[in-house]
Amino acid sequence: MPVNLSQTDVSGSGNLSLDNSDLVICDFDGTITQKDVGLFVIEALDLQEAWDIEMRWRRGEISSMECLSEQWNLVQLPASELLSLIDTVPLDPDFPSFVELCQQRGAGLVVVSDGLDLYVDRLLRQMGMEPCAGQQVLEGQGNCLPRFTNHAEFTAEGVKISFPHRSNLCARCGNCKTTHLFTLRRHFRRTIYIGDAHSDQCPARYADIVLAKRHLTEFCRQHRLPHIVFDSFSEIIEQFG
């Protein structure tokens, strides 16, 4: 059962200190980055049609697979220019310190993103971390940061996306974060979920502890899900350090 936390009161919730029986599952866009990378690109290029697609996804009219494919089809930039733009996405400067805390405590940490490895891996490396396959979290952190994400590559026709972690049981998200949670959690005592947006709503229902900001905070309040509100990883380090 989830730990009895609320957005305003964490007293009596038990020990929040991380240890080697904990699994931390962390969203990427808007959580590790300060802005969703796809939306950052949309705003920079003033792609108004992409916002209409985004709203259709948020209303549940289309899947994230359709949303991502349609939005990135609108991005007509040479690869070098797109990567240069991605390099300007603001990052949470305290995330590397949180990774270090998890490593020191022996806690499992895996990034789950319904975004694209094309930019997830690039920005993780920008923060000094080497990405690796998400299953690596079960073998110890080692010298890499495990992640599950959608796959993207540059082609002559633009950015093409595939979805190696889609679920046969649910067509809403390209990368089913809830599937990863249930697959991995049996190897740990406690599951801690960190996220901010619509693709985090489903896994937030099943984690033992939820740390939420932005849209996920609104969702947790609406559905009376226990959660801790945060704005940056400095606050998470304070809670779990």
Nearest CA to 203 among 172, 164, 234? 172
Give the pLDDT confidence of 34-54 residue by residue, as tens digits.
999 999 999 999 999 999 999
**Max CA separation in the chain (angstroms):** 57
Structure tokens at 125: 């490396």
Backbone φ and ψ of 150, nearest 5°:
-75, 160
- CATH code matching the domain that covers 22-240, chosen among 3.40.50.970, 3.40.50.1000, 3.30.1110.20, 3.20.20.80: 3.40.50.1000
Query: At 49, which helix (H) or strand (E)?
Result: helix 48-58
Residues 6+ apart with CB under 8 A from 127: 91, 95, 96
Structure tokens at 60: 């549940």
- Specify the pairing of strand 145-155 against strand 190-195: unpaired
pLDDT band for position 141 (cuts 50, 70, 90)? low
Residues 6+ apart with CB under 8 A from 140: none
Instruction: Give the whole-number percent of the chain exceeding pLDDT 70.
Output: 93
Q: For residue 216, with 0-12 CB atoms within 10 Å meaning exposed, 13-18 middle and 19 or more buried, which class applies?
A: buried
pTM metric for this prediction? 0.92
Give the pLDDT confidence of 90-117 residue by residue, as tens digits.
999 999 999 999 999 999 999 999 999 9
Q: Where are the domains of the chain?
A: 22-240
Q: What pLDDT sits at residue 241? A: 77
What distance in Å separates the CA atoms of residue 192 and residue 30, rounded to the nearest whole number?
Answer: 17
What distance in Å separates the CA atoms of residue 229 and residue 35, rounded to the nearest whole number?
Answer: 17
Instruction: Give the whole-number percent of the chain exceeding pLDDT 90.
Output: 87
Cβ atoms 26, 146 nearer than 8 A: no
